[in-house]
Amino acid sequence: MSTCHCFTGTPGDRGYEPNGSVKMIHGLNVYQALAPAEVKGEILFLPDVFGLATHNKILADQYANFG
């Protein structure tokens, strides 16, 4: 179910380049974004149908930056 809140996000910086790396694990391409400092936990981020699109890599980078 979608609501009006689905469209309230803001576009990212057009000049941003993802910081992580794409790796092959068990035959699947995965994007690994590492935290820059102390890690508080781990997140398995499963993107939508757009897969490893740049906007999903940017989201993974942002989650990693929070540790």
User: Contact 60/17 with Cβ under 8 angstroms?
Assistant: no
Give dist(CA 56, CA 52) in Å, integer. Answer: 6
Domain boundary assignment for the chain: 18-65
> Six-digit token pair at 12?
């990212």
- Please give the model's pTM, rounded to 2 decimal places: 0.71
**Higher-confidence position of 1 and 27:** 27
| Structure confidence by residue, pLDDT tens digits, 22-48 | 999 999 889 999 888 888 788 888 888
Q: Express each pLDDT in 4-25 by its tens digit.
A: 766 666 666 778 888 899 999 9
Residue 49 has pLDDT above 60, yes or no: yes
